[in-house]
Structure 1
């Protein structure tokens, strides 16, 4: 019963205020979570993410939630390190405070990393491989290939990154599978689009390369590496049918976002 009530409380917090996280409510009932870092106007989004990942784990401790904590702390630490480099002429203490916050976040990363060293959760196994080059973690991660545990978008993408230099065809299959497994409204990793486009660029399959670059542009218009100018130059340089390819790109992205995308044959 307590667990049910805890989840109901979490759902309320996450859905309050027009489906936006209500951080103020979290702080009212979980002061220790909000008091972890000194208040600052920078990195608010990252700090909120840390807060809710900690609440998630507090209400229902699990290896998956520990993974969410690690990613949240990493994002916050990275943001704070950047913010700490900005000097304040009149408020020098701001810089020191941000350094302290970054150090605190990095300390928590080390702590949670130590706690999860022996975990068999695929996300944590790949985390320990990618962050600490832990060969044993990689071996245990790869041993789960083909199992239900890895049949999710994140794990398929992680597998793809491992096979990138070993087996391009398998890499492409895994990237497509990662897209196929996305559910509606689930945040899509734009690096999947970049990786697919890169494979086709290297294979000199210019139509498919443009198609996935266009999908990336449609999904992430803020991406500075793929601009309208660069895409137009690509079309002109290779004399592509822009209208047709753009139409296919829109249809493909709509299917991915709707959770109806089917992996094409490789």
Structure 2
């Protein structure tokens, strides 16, 4: 009964928001399609109104895009009995897109890292990309996903800086957190490209130990496994140490 109870409570909260602050709900569709995306957008609007800042603007933009992208494919559905439902969704989709474009223009000069990534990744803004890279050592950049994004921008032109960002990303995880396997996959790509066979051997086993063996192409990795038993024991000790550090939130590059 717990999930049903929580869902009911959530709907009560959304209904309360819509009754007390109808401006957060007035331009949204009303039926059950995309209801979770609709609820997330309502909450994001309220959060931004209550606490206006770049972080909440970013969250609102993400919610608008998710809501728009959920509704957009439904517009091709032909309703035979209640065509007003289609019109309802069409208007909501157009208004969500318009609101998103307005927020993009509003945030074009922001140095909030997630907004810079948005403008680079979704709008192809090279100035935003350059500004994001320039923030590499800032406190606000010390989050795993931001360091991962930084590394992906640097990996072609500055592999040393990319490697540093990837290790920093791993060091930012708390104990028992779920590590993004793509961070380790990016490390492997770098090590394989640079023929750093010992590092490739170690990190393939780290990735496998974390339950992501399906990501590994063993045919590419086998040539790096040509180490004698003593070397493999030493490297396995390094693997065990890395796994322990990641599990306890104490990872540091040795």
Q: TM-score with structure 1 length normalisation?
A: 0.66
**Partner residue of 1:26 out of 2, 5, 13:** 13
* Equivalent residue number for residue 56 of structure 2: 65
Check conservation: 1:27, 1:34, Cα contact below 8 A.
Answer: no
**Partner residue of 1:153 out of 144, 161, 166:** 144
Count of paired positions:
236
**Partner residue of 1:46 out of 37, 61, 80:** 37
Q: Distance in 2 between matches of 1:45 and 1:201?
A: 42
Relative to 1, partners in 2 of residues 1:151 and 1:202: Cα closer, same or farther, differing over 3 Å?
Answer: same
* Pairing 1:121–2:112 present: yes
Query: Which runs of structure 2 are paired with 1:203-222 in the superposition (5 Å)?
Result: 203=194, 205=197, 206-208=200-202, 210-211=204-205, 213-214=207-208, 217-218=211-212
Q: Distance in 2 between matches of 1:80 and 1:253?
A: 42
**Partner residue of 2:133 out of 132, 142, 149:** 142
Q: Point out where structure 2 has 5 or more consecutive residues left out of the alignment.
A: 227-232
In the TM superposition, residue 185 of structure 1 has moved relative to its aligned partner by: 7.5
**Partner residue of 1:261 out of 243, 251, 254:** 251
Relative to 1, partners in 2 of residues 1:133 and 1:232: Cα closer, same or farther, differing over 3 Å?
Answer: closer
For the pair shown, the structure with the greater C-alpha radius of gyration is 2
Q: Distance in 1 between matches of 2:51 and 2:240?
A: 39
Check conservation: 1:198, 1:209, Cα contact below 8 A.
Answer: no
* Equivalent residue number for residue 230 of structure 2: none
Q: Distance in 2 between matches of 1:103 and 1:169?
A: 45
SS at match of 2:122: helix
Relative to 1, partners in 2 of residues 1:144 and 1:108: Cα closer, same or farther, differing over 3 Å?
Answer: same
Q: Distance in 2 between matches of 1:78 and 1:173?
A: 35
Q: Which of 135-144 and 167-176 deviates more? A: 135-144
Check conservation: 1:200, 1:208, Cα contact below 8 A.
Answer: no
Relative to 1, partners in 2 of residues 1:76 and 1:159: Cα closer, same or farther, differing over 3 Å?
Answer: same
In the TM superposition, residue 237 of structure 1 has moved relative to its aligned partner by: 8.9
* Equivalent residue number for residue 157 of structure 2: 166
* Equivalent residue number for residue 100 of structure 2: 109
Q: Point out where structure 1 has 5 or more consecutive residues left out of the alignment.
A: 1-16, 219-225
In the TM superposition, residue 235 of structure 1 has moved relative to its aligned partner by: 8.1
In the TM superposition, residue 58 of structure 1 has moved relative to its aligned partner by: 1.7
Relative to 1, partners in 2 of residues 1:95 and 1:183: Cα closer, same or farther, differing over 3 Å?
Answer: farther
In the TM superposition, residue 167 of structure 1 has moved relative to its aligned partner by: 1.8
